[in-house]
């Protein structure tokens, strides 16, 4: 059902904004996307997305949603030379306790740069005649009705022009980590949401390389994980479109990878495996070294606010920005767009006169349920490090962490466990999969063997068990 003569407006034309806009075209006659940047004509960097040069993995669940929203987009990305990859066989994975087994997992995703992904989605959306892009316009405040109970649009500052008011029946904030919604709401007389912040002090340094034409590899990504609690260094090499690699180095707990040539290479050499260093040491760099350090997990609890104005919802990084190392941001943004779709449809069919009154609080509550699992997984991992700042986990979460630690120690011994791990990581299965009887059985067997060995030669230290 489409509202005749009604329009929606999205603040921010990045992944969350574009996917939300696509959903809104089902319900509104016109959908306006207001973006602070000029969109580049080609898949290129832009100021508003400084994270774009770093590896951006769209998880399997995210790719499924993308295909639902834009049928055929995977084939389009393939035609733009983005390679596909089976995570079991084509992504050697150095986990907590050694290299995971390699096997055909059937978990296949496509690898591309963040810029190519965003550009392709934007190009698709631009063919929809309900969508209007307004570029180089910064939203500076919300507009509201006389008693401030409803948002009625936004005030926008276009470059070199006086501020302009744009009216809309629904405003969606998808303006990312630095969203001004808390301040916008305060100015309207509402409370700003409480925030939970967990800071792992993780740093990224990335560089792009041309893969040598004659080089044959049996992988499309190699991942060397960090090892809590002591080995703070990790990295990955990730093949994207046009035969290019992105090498990303990561350091936890302020062990930031350097951005000078020598320091960058030395950091790569210092990892648990020499494979990343060996792969790129003679390869042709085609970019500068990019750094990124704003990686704190930040959750804004809009779902807990007693009052929200009608006609206004918030999603994407504007609600929940993750430490990006687990690759959940874009998939959670996609899940947020699906949630908006469901909530709009439910409101329309349950409200007697087919309006969307009550949408904001209902949507933020539903969204918070979607965010809960990736939030717990990410922050649970980050809080294993004593260097991470933030509220420590409760007893139940600590037990879960210990359990997961034992499961991950088996990742190198069992293809089944690595497969379950990958499926949970890609959000196609819930974390409860780790409690399958076969996994519990393997874990108990391992613990019993470990106990037998340690009663002969005492050693209960997690770190001493690792086979590297
Ligand atoms: C280093 C790094 C690596 C990452 N790797 C991954 C990964 O592997 N996988 C993954 O899924 N996610 C990853 N992410 C997260 C991912 O980038 C975000 O989750 C994703 O971009 C969704 O964000 P968003 O659309 O909500 O916000 P953003 O991408 O931050 O975009 C916000 C948009 O709003 C615009 N804007 C801001 N303010 C205004 C305003 N007032 N008016 C108009 N426009 C405005 C900005 O210009 C921008 O275009 C990574 C993030 C970082 C930092």
Q: Is 317 in the pocket of ligand 1 (CB under 6 A)?
A: yes
Per-residue pLDDT at 460: 40
Are 245 and 280 spatial neighbours (Cβ–Cβ below 8 Å)? yes
Calculate how far, in angstroms, residue 317's C-alpha sits from the geometric centre of ligand 1: 6
pLDDT by residue (tens digit) across 82-123? 999 999 999 999 998 899 999 999 999 999 999 999 999 999
Both structure tokens of 402: 């210990």
Residues 6+ apart with CB under 8 A from 440: none
Both structure tokens of 11: 């603040």
**Averaged over 403-423, what is the pLDDT?**
91
Radius of gyration of the chain (CA): 23
Backbone angles phi, psi at 365, to 5 degrees: -70, -45
Q: Is 336 in the pocket of ligand 1 (CB under 6 A)?
A: no
With a threshold of 0.85, does the pTM exceed it?
yes
pLDDT by residue (tens digit) across 307-362? 999 999 999 999 999 999 999 999 999 999 999 999 999 998 887 777 899 999 99
For residues 465 and 171, give the distance between their C-alpha atoms in angstroms, rounded to a whole number: 53
Per-residue pLDDT at 459: 41
Q: Is 11 in the pocket of ligand 1 (CB under 6 A)?
A: yes
Calculate how far, in angstroms, residue 446's C-alpha sits from the geometric centre of ligand 1: 42
Pocket test for ligand 1, best of 46, 175, 289 (most atoms within 8 A of CB): 175
Calculate how far, in angstroms, residue 303's C-alpha sits from the geometric centre of ligand 1: 21
Average pLDDT, the chain: 93
Calculate how far, in angstroms, residue 185's C-alpha sits from the geometric centre of ligand 1: 21
Q: Is 35 in the pocket of ligand 1 (CB under 6 A)?
A: yes
For residues 5 and 200, give the distance between their C-alpha atoms in angstroms, rounded to a whole number: 47
Calculate how far, in angstroms, residue 102's C-alpha sits from the geometric centre of ligand 1: 33
Calculate how far, in angstroms, residue 174's C-alpha sits from the geometric centre of ligand 1: 9
Pocket test for ligand 1, best of 9, 10, 12, 178 (most atoms within 8 A of CB): 12
**Averaged over 111-136, what is the pLDDT?**
98
Q: Is 49 in the pocket of ligand 1 (CB under 6 A)?
A: yes
Q: Is 253 in the pocket of ligand 1 (CB under 6 A)?
A: no
Are 301 and 196 spatial neighbours (Cβ–Cβ below 8 Å)? yes
Question: Is the pLDDT assigned to residue 56 strictly greater than 60?
Answer: yes
Q: Is 233 in the pocket of ligand 1 (CB under 6 A)?
A: no
Per-residue pLDDT at 371: 97
Per-residue pLDDT at 453: 79
Instruction: Specify the ligand 1 atom closest to the Cα of 12.
Output: 34
Calculate how far, in angstroms, residue 14's C-alpha sits from the geometric centre of ligand 1: 6
Preceding amide of 97 cis, omega within 30:
no
Pocket test for ligand 1, best of 56, 168, 252, 321 (most atoms within 8 A of CB): 56
* Residue 457's pLDDT band (cuts 50, 70, 90): low
Q: Is 13 in the pocket of ligand 1 (CB under 6 A)?
A: yes
CATH number of 203-292: 3.30.70
Both structure tokens of 425: 């990581």
Per-residue pLDDT at 394: 84
Calculate how far, in angstroms, residue 268's C-alpha sits from the geometric centre of ligand 1: 27
Residue 389, number of CB atoms within 10 A of its CB? 13
CATH number of 3-52+114-197+296-378: 3.50.50.60
* Residue 278's pLDDT band (cuts 50, 70, 90): very high
Calculate how far, in angstroms, residue 256's C-alpha sits from the geometric centre of ligand 1: 21
Residue 48, number of CB atoms within 10 A of its CB? 18
Q: Is 29 in the pocket of ligand 1 (CB under 6 A)?
A: no
For residues 200 and 204, give the distance between their C-alpha atoms in angstroms, rounded to a whole number: 12
Residue 2, Cβ density class (10 Å: 0-12 exposed, 13-18 middle, ≥19 buried):
exposed
**Structural domain boundaries in the chain:** 3-52+114-197+296-378, 203-292, 395-455
For residues 129 and 11, give the distance between their C-alpha atoms in angstroms, rounded to a whole number: 19
Both structure tokens of 451: 């106990």
Nearest to 74 by CA among 52, 58, 91: 58
Are 224 and 271 spatial neighbours (Cβ–Cβ below 8 Å)? yes
């Amino acid at each position: 059902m489409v509202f005749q003569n009604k329009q929606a407006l999205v603040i921010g034309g990045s992944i969350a904004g574009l996917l939300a806009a696509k959903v809104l075209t089902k319900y509104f006659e016109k959908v306006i996307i207001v973006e602070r940047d000029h969109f580049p004509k080609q898949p290129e960097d832009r100021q508003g997305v400084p994270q774009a040069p770093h590896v951006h993995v769209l998880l399997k669940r995210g790719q499924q949603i993308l295909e639902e929203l834009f049928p055929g987009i995977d084939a389009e990305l393939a035609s733009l030379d983005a390679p596909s990859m089976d995570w079991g066989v084509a992504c050697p994975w150095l986990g907590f306790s050694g290299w995971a087994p390699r096997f055909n997992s059937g978990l296949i995703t496509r690898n591309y740069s963040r810029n190519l992904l965003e550009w392709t989605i934007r190009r698709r959306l631009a063919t929809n005649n309900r969508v209007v892009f307004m570029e180089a316009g910064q939203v500076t405040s919300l507009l509201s009705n006389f008693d401030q109970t409803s948002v009625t649009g936004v005030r926008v500052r276009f470059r070199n022009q006086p501020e302009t008011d744009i009216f809309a029946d629904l405003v969606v904030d998808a303006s990312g980590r630095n969203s001004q919604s808390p301040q916008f709401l305060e100015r309207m007389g509402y409370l700003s949401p409480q925030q939970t912040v967990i800071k792992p002090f993780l740093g990224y340094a990335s560089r792009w390389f041309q893969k040598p034409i004659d080089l044959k590899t049996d992988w499309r990504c190699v991942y060397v994980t960090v090892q809590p609690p002591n080995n703070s260094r990790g990295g990955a090499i990730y093949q994207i479109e046009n035969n290019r690699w992105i090498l990303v180095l990561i350091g936890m707990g302020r062990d930031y990878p350097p951005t000078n040539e020598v320091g960058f290479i030395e950091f790569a050499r210092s990892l648990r495996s020499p494979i990343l260093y060996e792969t790129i040491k003679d390869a042709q760099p085609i970019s500068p070294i990019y750094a990124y350090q704003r990686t704190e997990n930040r959750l804004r609890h809009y779902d807990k606010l007693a009052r929200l104005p009608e006609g206004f919802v918030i999603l994407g990084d504007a609600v929940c920005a993750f430490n990006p190392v687990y690759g959940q941001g874009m998939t959670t943004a996609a899940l947020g767009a699906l949630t908006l779709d469901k909530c709009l449809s439910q409101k329309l069919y349950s409200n007697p006169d087919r309006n969307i009154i009550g949408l904001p609080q209902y949507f933020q509550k539903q969204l918070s349920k979607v965010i809960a699992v990736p939030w717990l997984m990410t922050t649970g991992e980050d809080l294993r490090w004593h260097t991470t700042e933030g509220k420590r986990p409760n007893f139940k979460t600590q037990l879960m962490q210990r359990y997961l630690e034992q499961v991950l120690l088996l990742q190198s011994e069992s293809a089944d466990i690595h497969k379950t791990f990958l499926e949970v990581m890609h959000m196609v299965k819930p974390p409860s999969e780790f409690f399958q009887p076969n996994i519990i059985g393997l874990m108990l067997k391992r613990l019993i063997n470990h106990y037998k060995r340690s009663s002969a030669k005492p050693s209960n230290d997690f770190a001493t068990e690792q086979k590297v």
